[in-house]
Amino acid sequence: MNAWTIGFKEAQASQLTLTGGKGANLSELSRIGDVRVPDGFCVTTNVFRQALEQRPAYQALLDELSQLGADDHNRIPTLTEQIRAEIEDSVIPPEAALEITQRLSQFSLDQAYAVRSSATAEDLPQASFAGQQDTYLNVRGLENIMRHIRRCWASLFTERATIYRIQNGFDHRRAALAVLVQHMVRSQASGILFTADPVTSDRRIVSIEAGFGLGEALVSGIVSADGYKIRAGQIVEIRIAAKTLSIEPIAEGGTQTQPLGEDRMQQQVLTEAQILELAAIGRRIEAHFGKPQDIEWCLDDEGFHIVQSRPITTLFPIPETHSPGRRVYLSTGHQQMMTDAMKPLGLSFFLMVTPAPMRPAGGRLFVDVTELLSAPASRSGLLAAMGQSDPLMRDALMTLLERGDFPEAPPEAAQEVPAKRRTIEPPGGKHVGGVEDPEIVEELLRSNQDSVERLKQEIRGKSGTELLDFIQADIDELKRLLFDPRSSAVIMAGMGAAAWINQQMSEWLGETNAADSLSQSVPGNVTAEMGLALLDAADVIRRHPEVINYLQRTEDEDFLEHLEPLAGGSDVRSVLLDYLDRYGMRCAGEIDLSRTRWSERPLLLIAPILSHVRNFAPGEAQRRFQQGLEQARRKEQELLARLRQLPDGESKAAETKAMIDALRRFSGYREYPKYGMIRRFFVYKLALLEEADRLVVEGVLGSREQIFDLTFNELREVVRTRTADQELIERRQEEFRLFEKLTPPRVLTSDGEGLNGDYRRHDLPDGAIAGLAVSSGVVEGRARVVRHMEDAVLEEGDILVTTFTDPSWTPLFVAAAGLVTEVGGLMTHGAVIAREYGLPAVVGVNQAMQQIRDGQRIRVHGTAGYIELL
């Protein structure tokens, strides 16, 4: 028996497929005893499906639409218009029409209704789809209601809703529409209430927007709204907008826009008592649903009515913790130059490696720094470190501290955590910064390489729980290598030498960022060498036109296997395999073990290789390295000569020479520990994928990639029991799709507030965009705004503008004239390589991808830390 209509109070949460998301939420709202919800009923999705399943033209149009992508801008408008016309011409089944009529007969014939769409893919935790379908207000009369039901159905296929569905991976055939027929409230005022601040995500704040008349004026954006913010039952902000219009119902049905009189334009819509009452209603609704809500409300003589509530899907999740009190977290991704969402297995591996108090949230990792902020000594150390590496993160922390959100702990409660200080000793002994010169670097490299080779041998043949146990035990070896005090001392020696040089050259010579020029072409930087090695590979490929022609047109994932028959193909294949053997474990977002590596998809390297072939002459790698080496030597000679002219100049020059030697001897090692970690991760990954293949053959998993949707311990349990929770895997996949759309803040609190900081600079030219200076020089060129490395097409002289760069982006650096990123700090990988290659670079630029247009000419001031739009 078909359910054609369901009353709000009759509906069950399990009937989502019948009532749609909005209908299901209204049903829940109707069960909250002290919340007024206008009465009505739902015309179920059964009516929609029954009306359209017998229309062959509709089915044929859907077949055609299902073949299109979101960028098919020519076909989507035409097809969706044809589908809407077909739907509006449909006939409501007679049995359903009779039941709708009977429902309406229970109410007054003079009653006005709101006829509202309720899609099955709407107001869901993973994707709200808010506003994608239509609502019609003040509909009167049976015939009009029936017509507007069909119009609601048709709105399922507006161009906007169709593209949104494609982008979110929803099947058009699975989407269906219910329609809500609800008593119309003649609103004196209406608006929206968020139980968490929609801008900052602070869960302590209730945010209300209010306007006169019906809420459509606010939703459509034709008027500004009053804004009120409430925290802990107190109004903390009132913003009164200049309101010029309101939308009002008219007697014969429908609505009209009316101008407001001058006396109401600046009038506060809600009284303070009403604001607090509405905020309290919002909190009750939030408590009922168990998560922050986006609520539509209206006000008449009876009081407040709630006409919708949906989850807020744009809030960044809060890390789970058992620690008491309010907490503050720093984004690990902003330090690691990887702010994309990570899969659960990738998160697990990073958590297994790090000793820091990290917490996952939204597919990212955050470090809990609450204790460090609470004690004065550790607070000053933390702020000093952030000031050097990420000034925006420091400013966000200062915002919290200046507001008094994280006051100093009392002496008896705060455990002082002394700030670690490392000093670079003056020359005169065998040690610089506690590092013995020079054998220690070579010893660390050999130790790491030998350890990886042993791992490759020992992991062979292992499977089942033995494999998982082996990997977990080997993580201890990885941590031993990563946190070897000698390794840390070498890195700190290089960083300390650079800091000493910059500080002393500024003090003695008035020279800014002198260490940048001195850092060019330092030996032993594995990431810089990786970029130059691809130039060498391009030199081999350049000699073989037949291979170039093939690479320009191939999309074959196995293209390496098809090179052999081509003239020169064997040589090219050998060169590329050698490159992949050395660097194939790298990829964009490489700290996430689940990411596809270059060795797994060599096709990712074709675009930068062809760019090198096109833009550079043979021998460019050696030429680049020698050029950087010569510039560093000239800078050294210049500085030492100028120092010798100063009082006590010979002593100053000798000190500086020792620091320059330390900088060039030790700073190249900075990139190696992560390279070693990624090499190890790739060995783990290959072994785990072999185990996953066995699980697929046994029918335990649907695909090998499903292991990435599990934590390490969950995967161990699946391997042990040979059973998997497919519902958990599907839920994780849905969560990941949501997390991918979220942007993590630099600083996050346990109240959900996200802060990104500001530079607060007053020394910039008009219109300039502030950032962090990380590599000196000034360059002007064409901006190439690139979101994904594989999509980059750079010509020589272009300036790369992107969200973040990790080591996998290095092949693009050799073609770029400068670098601008949204994320980054003084010692992140992009900054280090930019200095070594001599590229002017500005990082940590808020919303650089939005502020700079692709193809726009810009000037990057890498010394002063800003960008000019030309």
Q: Which of 686, 532, 530, 674 is nearest to 596 (CA)?
A: 686
Catalytically annotated residue among 305, 612, 829, 861: 829
SS3 state of residue 593: coil
Q: Render the burial of 678-712: b for 16+ CB within 10 Å, e for the rest.
A: bbbbbbbbebbeebbeebbeeebbeebebbbbbbb
- 163 near 76, Cβ under 8 Å? yes
Could you tell me which residues come within 8 angstroms of residue 525 by beta carbon, excluding any fewer than 6 positions away? 667, 668, 670, 671, 832, 833, 836
Q: Is 183 a catalytic residue?
A: no
Please name the helix (run of DSSP H) or strand (run of DSSP E) that holds residue 24, with its range, or none.
helix 16-30
How buried is residue 745: exposed, middle or buried, by Cβ count under 10 Å (0-12/13-18/19+)? buried
| Cβ-contact 8, 41 below 8 angstroms | yes
Buried/exposed code over 228-246 (b: 16+ C-beta within 10 A; e: otherwise) = bbbeeeeeeeeebbebebb
Please write down the HEC assignment for all residues of 298-358.
Answer: EEECCEEEEEEEEECCCCCCCCCCCCCCCCEEEEHHHHHCCCCCCCHHHHHHHHHHCCCCE
DSSP assignment string, 89-157: T----HHHHHHHHHHHHTS-TT--EEEEEEETTSS-SS---TTSS-EEEEE-SHHHHHHHHHHHHHGGG
What is the bridge-based pairing of β-strands 226-231 and 798-802? unpaired
Strands, sheet with 189-194, edge to edge from the N-terminal-most edge strand: 234-239, 226-231, 205-212, 189-194, 293-300, 303-311
CA distance 427 to 713: 50
d(CA 303, CA 288): 21
Residue 227, strand partner residues: 209, 239
- Amino acid identity of residue 417, one-letter, is V
Diameter of the chain by CA atoms? 102
Closest to 508 in 3D by CA, of 407, 653, 302 = 653
- Strand 364-368: give its sheet, edge to edge: 358-361, 364-368, 328-331, 747-749, 754-755
- 72 half-sphere exposure, CB direction, 13 A CA radius: 17
Q: Which of 193, 249, 211 is nearest to 35 (CA)?
A: 193
- Angle, helices 344-353/712-721, rounded to nearest 10 degrees: 110
Q: Which helix (H) or strand (E) holds 812?
A: helix 810-813
Amino acid at 340: D
Q: How far is CA 474 from the centre of its chain?
A: 31
Instruction: Return the closest-CA partner of residue 529 out of 824, 810, 241, 737.
Output: 810
Is 143:169 a contact under the CB 8 Å cutoff? Answer: no
For tokens 């809407």, name the residue: 84
Query: Residue 818 in contact with residue 779, Cβ under 8 Å?
Result: yes
**Torsion of Cα atoms, 743 then 744 then 750 then 755, to 10°:** -90
Contacts of 414 (CB under 8 A, 6+ apart): 374, 375, 376, 408
Cβ neighbours of 759 (radius 10 Å): 19
Question: What is the set of active-site residues?
Answer: 829
